[in-house]
Amino acid sequence: MISGIVLGVVLSLAPRAENDEAHKLAEAYLAALAGKGDQAAREMHLNGLSFMAQTVSFDSSKIVNEEPEKREKGDLAEAAKMLSEIDKAGRKALDIMAGGATEKGDEGQEMGIIDADKAKKLMAPAKAIMDKLAAKYPVFARVARVDKDVYWHPKNPIRPLMDQTKKKGKFDLELHRYQIESKDGRKTKQWGLKIIRFRVDDGFDTGWKILPAADWNPDE
């Protein structure tokens, strides 16, 4: 819990419960981005402070919209297995596209240059598992960004997070997403802020954390 923080963010949203820790963290983080309050709020990123989080700042920020809380419980071993299968299928496809492996066409011919249609065909097995994961555990899939190109990046926060767990047991995942409007001089920007808490029944608990934007693709 972050306390003693001067928020400096004016909200026009409906009153909320005093124990809404996700919303408190969101407000504290926006204040920190404006140089107000406790700057420790910047460090509340999942798996540590990213480079982008160290450098970003705004004159002011406010929450302009908030999605309903999403909460999901499930079998971590099952979710972890599907992630592993996605990676395995994806690596096979990428090896072929990079020329590290060959694949025969329907009549035995080598596929040659990889165009968009061939790339889609090669990625179809991975996409099928992604769809399966999204159908079974939609919140987990959203946090893992399985439908985004940034899923494949080694800095995707889901990767070190899963490595910190035993990849088994029942998990409880909460996701809060806020639409933020920030001003920097005359420029106004809207962006999404995601806050999560991931718990496993063996005692593993991230606490409330900011799901960092991808430094290599902040819009994701």
pLDDT tens sequence across 139-174: 999 999 999 988 988 889 999 999 999 999 999 999
Q: Is the pLDDT of residue 219 over 70?
A: no
Q: Is the pLDDT of residue 117 over 70?
A: yes
State mean pLDDT over 130-142.
98
Both tokens assigned to 203: 């005692």
| Domain boundaries along the sequence of the chain | 21-71+174-211, 75-164
- Inter-residue contact 1 to 22 (CB < 8 Å): no
State mean pLDDT over 49-63.
85
H-assigned helices in 98-156:
116-136, 138-144
- Inter-residue contact 194 to 176 (CB < 8 Å): yes
Separation between Cα atoms, residue 69 and residue 171, nearest integer Å: 17
State mean pLDDT over 13-28.
76
pLDDT of residue 92: 92
